[in-house]
Structure 1
Amino acid sequence: MKFSVSLYSFYSAIKAGELTPMQCIGKAKELGFDAVEAVDFVNFQCPQEEMAQQAQALRAEAEKQGLCFSSLAVAADLLNGSGGDTAKEIERVKKYVDLAAVLGAPRMRHDITQGTKPAQSYDSLLPRLSEAVREITEYAAAKGILTMTENHGFFSQDSERVEKLYTAVGHSNFKLLCDMGNFLCADENPALAVARVAPYTAYVHAKDFICKSFYAENPGEGAFQTRAGNYLRGTVIGQGNVPVKQCLRTLKAAGFDDTIAIEFEGLEPCVEAVRIGLANLKRYWDEV
């Protein structure tokens, strides 16, 4: 088992000027992680022609710290495309596959879509979605990069939907990234959702949320609403309402023994939150 951290977890410190994205790699080593996860909007805020050089610099820093990149996470919309052009969007995502190879990351996660306007059902869009995903994963397979989708983005967030997409793509190089917290964004029980997707999971995001019903008082700044209008706020792993330990138990029972990456997005000071979260995560994994 390896424990990684998404560099997005340090985003509040980056925005405050307390850490640079490059310094976050050393901080991850200091906190006791085995690997780090790169994120497009955190680590590649540079012109496209400079991205490969940036990836080389990130890899060099990780190797200097004795770490590796566990994954690269990128945004994508394979229905609405880049400026309305799906083929252009697929090619853009493939360029990130090239960057994952430069990073030395064995896998890359990309989004699917935010949905369509006027609205269409997920099932009706599956043929188009699976075709686009299959083209990307076939390209990535030739470079030794596993591709994944995450339960993320509200439209492609439910466990049933990502399971259907996995089945429709039907390619050995395409798996699922299971984010145990994100199922709450679609108002789904994380324990039941993880049990559904565990057999197809190649990588895990550990995340916790504090949850409040729509009928409770609006918690204000730092919170957002789920698809059904309930309230979520990110918090330290083990201090929210996500049944993290139960999700880990289910994953272990399904044979998962690869990499779990912390993704923190709460209001607490991020370095301390990640430190406490890692300690809790390691203890829970040992206990289950």
Structure 2
Amino acid sequence: MKLGISSYSLYQAMQQGRLTIEEGLDWAAGIGGRHIEIVPGLGFGFDEDPGLEERLVGRAQELGLELSNYAIGANFITDSEASYEEEIARVISEVDRANRLGIKLMRHDVASREDTSILRFNEDLEQIAAACRRIADHAAGYGITTSVENHGYYVQASDRVQTLVHAVDRPNFRTTLDVGNFVCVDENPLTAVRNNLPIASMVHIKDFYIRPSSRNPGEGWFTSAGGSYLRGAIAGHGDLDLQAILARVKSSGYDGFLSIEYEGMEDCLEGTRIAFNNVRRIWDGV
């Protein structure tokens, strides 16, 4: 197992000018991280800094820090065939960037809709899967595995993720498994993690505070699909049974990257550091 962080965890500090992405690599290595995920568009961008790719590769090598995963947004639900093709071409160009960074795992989003019903999902499935196949086939030439993450409400429940992975039917298309995100669609995270571990290429560790729909906690919370109130927590501080979840991941034989994805209200550097230490402690104890 290789424990590290997602750069997403640090975007607050990057947006505030307290940290650059390059300094984020230094920071991740400084807390003992073995890898960092690169998530552009949140605190930094490659298009605005053409030399950034080369500098990140060089800095990571100096630190002995792996660039583990490259994560971008995408939406293959479009209003025309032309925009559908444009979106596929854009994501393929990002696969090329991941290759230049020396990264072998890449997560891209696939779809977003206001209507998140299973009926709509079934109607959209082949259009989404066809795009994912083309991208995965391109990525295979680099030895890159692409993936869909369980987030965004529409493709978030474990059975929908499984359905898409099986519909794409490519050995290098899997799932970035976020152990916490299942609660956003009111699914038991322990059961959902067990369901999707066999198709996971990457595991995100996240925690949430959870309150019933009848008890509005006020500012700083959002609602699940079923109306429960959620707020991001430092891993190990929230209401998820991380000990049981991590024990399940460990007993499955998963030996890849574990990545802290912090999105709580505390300072992001402090929250990510505590989460990292908590997960390392829990993992060693299960």
Name the TM-score class by shorter chain.
Answer: over 0.9
Match of 2:140 in 1: 141
Shift of 1:118: 10
8 Å Cα contact 1:72/1:105 also seen in 2: yes
Residues 263-282 of structure 1: pairs in structure 2 closer than 5 A: 263-282=261-280
Q: Check if 1:30 corresponds to 2:39.
A: no
Could you list the per-position Cα deviations for residues 122-146 of structure 1 after superposition, in whole angstroms to 9, with x for gaps in the alignment? 1222111111111100000001111
Match of 1:106 in 2: 104
Evaluate the alpha carbon distance shift between residue 118 and residue 36 of structure 1 in structure 2; reply closer, same or farther with a 3 A threshold. closer
- CA distance in 1 between counterparts of 2:62 and 2:156 reads 36
Match of 2:7 in 1: 7
- CA distance in 1 between counterparts of 2:96 and 2:4 reads 21
8 Å Cα contact 1:112/1:129 also seen in 2: yes
1:105 match: secondary structure: coil
Q: Check if 1:152 corresponds to 2:151.
A: yes
8 Å Cα contact 2:262/2:271 also seen in 1: yes
8 Å Cα contact 2:12/2:43 also seen in 1: no
Match of 1:189 in 2: 188
8 Å Cα contact 2:116/2:153 also seen in 1: no
- CA distance in 2 between counterparts of 1:118 and 1:248 reads 29
Match of 2:247 in 1: 249
2:42 match: secondary structure: helix
- CA distance in 2 between counterparts of 1:171 and 1:151 reads 18
Could you list the per-position Cα deviations for residues 103-123 of structure 1 after superposition, in whole angstroms to 9, with x for gaps in the alignment? 111100001111266975212
2:128 match: secondary structure: helix
Q: Work out which of the residue numbers 258, 261, 265 in structure 2 matches 1:260.
A: 258
- CA distance in 2 between counterparts of 1:46 and 1:178 reads 26
Shift of 1:253: 2.2
Shift of 1:83: 9.9
Could you list the per-position Cα deviations for residues 60-95 of structure 1 after superposition, in whole angstroms to 9, with x for gaps in the alignment? 121222212010000000122799711110110011
Shift of 1:169: 0.9
- CA distance in 1 between counterparts of 2:79 and 2:250 reads 37
Match of 2:131 in 1: 132
- CA distance in 1 between counterparts of 2:79 and 2:24 reads 32
- CA distance in 2 between counterparts of 1:84 and 1:247 reads 43
Q: Which amino acid aligns with 1:192?
A: T
TM-score using structure 2 length: 0.94
Shift of 1:43: 6.3
Evaluate the alpha carbon distance shift between residue 268 and residue 43 of structure 1 in structure 2; reply closer, same or farther with a 3 A threshold. closer
Match of 1:63 in 2: 61
RMSD: 2.0
Stretches of structure 1 that go unaligned for 5 or more consecutive residues are none
TM-score using structure 1 length: 0.93
Q: Check if 1:17 corresponds to 2:17.
A: yes
Moved more, 37-46 or 196-205: 37-46
